Amino acid sequence: MGENADHKTLGSQVLLSGEIAAKSQKFAEGYARLRDVTDRDGALPAWAKALFMASAAAVKGHDQLLHEELRRSKELGLSLNDARGAALTVFISRGEEVYSRFTAAVNEIYNEAIKIDLKLCRILNLTVTVVLNISKVILDLYLRMLNSWQTMLLEHLKVTY
């Protein structure tokens, strides 16, 4: 089967502690081989693998693992921009709660909250308000038109019958 995995240089805290090996050397070796694939560069860079594991931890609600793997991903080369992109991907696939959890971890690990351009927010808010007002006017006109047609139809029916 080959050489044993190096249990001391992987990202797993339970492998580093020796806790698993004390209970089952065979299981610890199998898990170390698995972590060897997920923790080192290969077909994908190690930072991307750690980012995937952080994303899965966010989805599952495992905050400690989320922080550990995201921190490890940063140390291995994950940029803030890519971390923010991953947060948006998580948002699209898993919703606001997981996005918020992931973003909070990114903010903490990179020590940088998302900067919100208040001027842009005001413009967007104004745009939404204008669109809503226009929609209201259009809906009102549509309802008046329907009411007119209904009245004309009723008048027509009275005359015809």
- Short-list 105, 39, 103, CA closest to 72: 39
Same domain, 19 and 76: yes
Same domain, 27 and 84: yes
- Short-list 87, 77, 30, CA closest to 54: 87
Same domain, 105 and 32: yes
* φ/ψ (deg, to 5) at 132: -65, -40
pTM over 0.75: no
Same domain, 26 and 93: yes
Task: State the total domains in the chain.
Answer: 2
Q: Where are the alpha helices (DSSP H) in 61-117?
A: 63-75, 80-94, 96-110
Same domain, 91 and 123: no
Domain boundary among 110, 128, 152: 110
Same domain, 25 and 93: yes
Same domain, 122 and 99: no
Same domain, 150 and 132: yes
Residue by residue, pLDDT tens for the chain (161 residues) are 456 777 676 767 878 888 888 998 888 888 888 877 777 777 788 898 899 999 999 999 999 999 999 999 999 999 999 999 999 888 888 889 999 999 999 999 999 887 766 676 677 676 767 777 777 778 777 777 777 777 777 777 776 66
Secondary structure of residue 9 in the 3-state scheme = coil
For residue 1, being part of any structural domain is answered with no
For residue 6, being part of any structural domain is answered with no
- Contacts of 9-15 with C-beta under 8 Å, sequence gap 24+, read 10/35, 10/36, 10/39, 11/35, 11/38, 11/39, 11/50, 11/68, 11/69, 11/72, 12/39, 13/68
* φ/ψ (deg, to 5) at 51: -65, -40
User: What's CA 99's distance to the chain center, in Å?
Assistant: 4
Same domain, 35 and 104: yes
Per the structure, the complete domain to which residue 138 belongs is given by 116-161
